[in-house]
């Protein structure tokens, strides 16, 4: 099934229902969105000669055009390549060249930045400047005119979205997501994450090239409204204003975004009665931060754990489980990432891929209809990651007897000191309990005798004073002495990528280069 069918079904049932909004201003109805996407699809096929399966890149800050172009690609039988808008121009070039994208739609400033890097790129036929979010360029407006074409049939395993990993280590890889993969993700959203009604909306404050954009699908399928902030980015006062304006509001947010939202001065006076759901994921949410968020915003939280290789779809911790404070293992469940979503099987395995009993640490493996086809033009990485018919996540975790999965760390982030494995997240959870700690990250650095030693990078709350002795005492009161940080480095901010993940590769480099 072609995913563009979801849009056309919603348009057929109620063509006048609002589909897209920019801030508080309506952008277009479902009928108009379907017409514009079909017209753009016709121009992609007839003007540019693109055939089924060819790739079209989207280098855009958040805006309504993202949805128009995405569904036009699918309508025309093409594969979309959404790219993180905060990448360096050289990184854009790599993805455009590696994917073999024939066209690239880019918002004005990105088009300007990308153009010099791609001028000699033989595979790229055109770089199309679409203008600003609220001011489409004449070239882009012209592509939305026309009679449109019939939707191209697609098979379930045809490529729909080429998702480039964040590339925190080495070159990013292109996870091939099929129409089947994204339909499975959509159905799992309804089963495991949230219900969507036609009068609801999703506020796209997180990058639409990643998780927030993927969640357009369940909302399009149910005829809900897609709301893009006028700023095109995450701004807490703007988000609170949009929530106050739109009923039935949901949003996807990285844990760092949730933390910023909750701690912003605007949160104290914000009206959040319209807020239906905050789905969080993409990095560790520390228990103390989650408790603070629930105290401020109420029981509106759902956690998901996924990867680009199984988009948004590995496990989920439901709203009901967030609310079940009487359960004897309530805090342990809050620290978990929940249970397997409906469309996947999840297990924890040893190095020989043998399933481990509850309580034992191993790698998280999964299989199901949401798991990618493989990596684009990388058969060796595909073989390694998908061997035995299971996606090897690279994450280390423990499954309890009730099926709740608790992640310990990425396998590459484990610190081995004196032959003992030390899991940074365990230490980070302790440090986050200090009232003066805003955020922290723990890494290992080389040590001549022990192999590695633990280093903590700590960001203090504004105006707060932090001392090593107090942090040391906190750790020694709760974890084994050999796990405590041997050094603390107080920094103004932690390095992060656009999805809010801390770049521990950079922190390890900092730790190795300098005496802390």
CATH of the domain at 469: 3.30.300.30
Asked if residue 250 belongs to a domain, the reply is yes
Among residues 202, 204, 176, the alpha carbon closest in space to that of 189 is found at 202
Q: What is the tens place of the pLDDT at every residue in 468-486?
A: 999 999 998 888 788 899 9
Kindly state whether residues 395 and 416 are assigned to the same domain: no
How far CA 77 is from CA of 29, 34, 41, 159, 221, in Å, comes to 23, 15, 9, 9, 19
Residue 56 sits in the same domain as residue 197: yes
Cα 301 from Cα 322, distance rounded (Å): 7
| 407 lies in some domain | no
Q: Does 216 score more than 50 pLDDT?
A: yes
Of 112, 138, 21, nearest to 104 by C-alpha is 112
Q: What pLDDT was estimated at residue 516?
A: 41
Express each pLDDT in 160-205 by its tens digit. Answer: 999 998 644 457 899 999 999 999 999 999 999 999 999 999 999 9
Chain centroid to CA 204: how far? 12
Q: Please state the rounded mean pLDDT for residues 57-81.
A: 97
Q: Give the domain-ending residue among 349, 364, 399.
A: 399
Q: Tell me how far CA of residue 49 lies from CA of 34, 43, 218, in angstroms.
A: 21, 8, 31
> For all residues of the chain together, what is the average pLDDT?
92
pLDDT at 420: 66
Q: How far apart are the first and last CA of the chain?
A: 56
Q: Is 466 left (phi over 0), alpha (psi -120 to 50) or beta?
A: beta
CA 55 – CA 414 distance, rounded (Å): 37
Could you write out the DSSP letters of every residue in 62-115?
A: S-HHHHHHHHHHHHTT-EEEEE-TTS-HHHHHHHHHHHT-SEEEE-HHHHHHHH
Residue 1 reports pLDDT greater than 90: no
Q: Specify the pLDDT at position 498.
A: 66
Percent of the chain with pLDDT over 90: 78
Return the H-helix or E-strand segment holding 489: strand 487-490
Q: For the residues 55-71, what does the mean pLDDT come to?
A: 97
Task: Name which residue leads in pLDDT, 87 or 294.
Answer: 294
Give the pLDDT of residue 89: 87
Contact yes or no for 68/37 (Cβ under 8 A): yes
Domain boundary among 399, 429, 447: 399
383/422 same-domain check: no
Do 332 and 466 sit in the same domain of this protein? no
Do 483 and 343 have their domain in common? no
Q: Which of 210, 167, 192 is nearest to 314 (CA)?
A: 192
Query: Do the domain assignments include residue 481?
Result: yes
CA atoms of 392 and 388, how far apart (whole Å) = 9
Residue 133: how many CB atoms within 10 A of its CB?
23
* 170 burial via Cβ count (<10 Å: 0-12, 13-18, 19+): exposed
Q: Is the pLDDT of residue 409 over 80?
A: no
User: What's 128's domain CATH number?
Assistant: 3.40.50.12780
433 in any annotated domain: yes
Look at residue 404 and tell me if it is in a domain. Answer: no
Cβ partners under 8 Å of residue 114, min gap 6: 59, 89, 92, 93, 96, 104, 106, 127
pLDDT of residue 91: 85
Helical (H) or strand (E) element with 328:
none
**Residue where a domain stops, chosen among 342, 370, 399:** 399
Are both 115 and 218 inside the same structural domain?
yes
Distances (CA, A) of 309 to 352, 367, 492: 21, 11, 33
Antiparallel, parallel or unpaired: β 415-417 and 225-228: unpaired
Please tell me the least confidently modeled range out of 117-126, 236-245, 457-466, 498-507: 498-507
Give the angle 72-78-82 at the CA atoms, nearest 5°: 75
Same-domain pairing of 386 and 486: no
Residue 268 — pLDDT band, cuts 50, 70, 90?
confident
Angle at CA of residue 160, ends 156 and 164, nearest 5°: 130
Give the dihedral sign, CA 25/131/39/152: negative
pLDDT given at position 65: 97
**Residue 363 shares a structural domain with residue 386:** yes
At 166 the pLDDT is 63
Sign of dihedral through CA atoms 108, 110, 113, 118? negative
Other CB atoms within a 10 A radius of the CB of residue 480 amount to 11
Is residue 359 packed enough to be buried (19+ CB in 10 Å), middle (13-18) or exposed (0-12)?
Answer: exposed
pLDDT digits (tens, 9 = 90+) for 120-166: 999 999 999 999 887 899 999 999 998 888 999 999 999 999 999 86
**Residue 505 falls inside a structural domain:** yes
Indicate if 419 and 385 belong to the same structural domain.
no
pLDDT tens string 368-407 = 999 999 999 999 999 999 999 999 998 889 999 999 999 9
Q: Residue 183: what pLDDT?
A: 98
Structure tokens at 175: 């996870």
Q: Are residues 42 and 117 in the same domain?
A: yes
Binning pLDDT at 50, 70 and 90, where does residue 494 land? very high
Residue 93 has phi, psi (to 5 degrees) of -60, -45
**Tally of CB atoms within 10 A around 179:** 22
Which residues span the domain enclosing 463? 412-513
CA pair distance 139, 107, nearest whole angstrom: 12
Instruction: Tell me the C-alpha distance between 93 and 110, whole Å.
Output: 12
Res 448: pLDDT: 73
Residue with tokens 């906190």: 474
Write phi, then psi, for 152 (nearest 5 degrees).
-80, 130
- pLDDT at residue 279 tops 70: yes
> For the segment 321-377, what is each residue's pLDDT rounded down to a tens digit?
999 999 999 999 999 999 999 999 999 999 999 999 999 999 999 999 999 999 999
User: Residue 261 — pLDDT band, cuts 50, 70, 90?
Assistant: very high
Asked, for residue 59, whether it belongs to a domain, the answer is yes
Residue 26 falls within a domain, yes or no? yes
Distance CA 403, CA 332 (A): 12
Q: Which residues contact 35 (CB under 8 A, 6 or more apart)?
A: 148
Q: pLDDT tens digit string along 431-471?
A: 999 999 999 999 998 887 777 889 999 999 999 989 999 99
Q: Which residues contact 322 (CB under 8 A, 6 or more apart)?
A: 290, 294, 299, 301, 302, 303, 334
Identify the pLDDT of residue 411: 67
Residues 315, 420: one domain? no
Per the structure, the count of domains in the chain is 2
Torsion-angle region of 391 (φ positive above 0: left; ψ -120 to 50: alpha; else: beta): beta
CA 436 to chain centre: 28
Which pLDDT score, from 0 to 100, does residue 168 have?
42
Say if residue 338 is in the same domain as residue 431.
Answer: no
């Amino acid at each position: 099934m072609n995913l563009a069918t979801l849009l056309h079904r919603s348009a057929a049932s109620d063509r006048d229902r609002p589909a897209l909004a920019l801030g508080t201003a309506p952008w277009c109805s479902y009928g108009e969105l379907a017409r514009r996407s079909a017209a753009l699809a016709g121009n992609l096929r007839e003007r540019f000669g693109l055939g089924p399966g060819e790739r079209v890149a989207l280098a855009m800050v958040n805006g309504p055009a993202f949805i128009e172009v995405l569904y036009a690609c699918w309508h025309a039988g093409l594969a979309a390549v959404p790219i993180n808008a905060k990448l360096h121009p050289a990184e854009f070039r790599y993805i455009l060249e590696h994917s073999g994208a024939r066209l690239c739609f880019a918002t004005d400033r990105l088009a300007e930045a990308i153009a010099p890097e791609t001028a000699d790129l033989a595979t790229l036929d055109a770089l199309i400047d679409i203008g600003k979010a609220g001011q489409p360029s004449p070239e882009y407006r012209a592509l939305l005119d026309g009679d449109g074409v019939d939707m191209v049939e697609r098979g379930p395993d045809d490529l729909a979205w080429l998702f480039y990993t964040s590339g925190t280590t080495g070159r990013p890889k292109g996870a091939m997501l099929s129409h089947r993969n994204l339909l499975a993700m959509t159905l799992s959203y309804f089963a495991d994450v949230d219900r969507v009604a036609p009068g609801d909306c999703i506020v796209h404050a997180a990058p639409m090239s990643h998780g927030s954009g993927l969640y357009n699908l369940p909302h399009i399928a149910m005829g809900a409204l897609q709301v893009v902030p006028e700023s095109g980015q995450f701004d807490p006062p703007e988000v609170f204003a949009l929530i106050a304006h739109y009923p039935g509001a949901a949003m996807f947010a990285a844990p760092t975004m949730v933390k910023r939202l909750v701690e912003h001065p605007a949160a104290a006076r914000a009206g959040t009665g319209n807020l239906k759901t905050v789905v969080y994921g993409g990095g560790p949410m520390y228990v103390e931060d989650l408790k603070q968020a629930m105290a401020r915003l109420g029981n509106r939280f759902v956690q998901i754990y996924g990867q680009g290789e199984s988009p948004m779809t590995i496990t989920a911790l439901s709203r009901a489980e967030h609310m079940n404070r009487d359960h004897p293992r309530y805090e342990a469940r809050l620290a978990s990432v929940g249970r397997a979503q409906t469309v996947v099987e999840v297990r924890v395995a040893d190095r020989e891929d043998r399933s481990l009993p509850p309580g034992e640490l191993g790698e998280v493996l999964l299989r199901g209809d949401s798991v990618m086809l493989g990596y684009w033009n990388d058969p060796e990485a595909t073989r390694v990651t998908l061997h035995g018919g299971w996606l090897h996540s690279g994450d280390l975790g423990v499954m309890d007897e009730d099926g709740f999965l608790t992640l310990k760390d990425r396998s590459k982030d484990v610190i081995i000191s004196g032959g003992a494995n030390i899991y940074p997240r365990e230490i980070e959870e302790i440090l986050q309990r200090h009232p003066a700690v805003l955020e922290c990250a723990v890494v290992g650095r080389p040590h001549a005798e022990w192999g590695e030693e633990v280093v903590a990078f700590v960001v203090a709350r504004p105006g707060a004073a932090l001392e090593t002795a107090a942090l040391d005492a906190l750790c020694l009161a709760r974890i084994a002495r050999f796990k405590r940080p041997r050094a603390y480095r107080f920094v103004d901010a932690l390095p992060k990528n656009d999805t809010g993940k801390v770049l521990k590769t950079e922190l390890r480099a900092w730790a190795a280069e300098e005496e802390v």
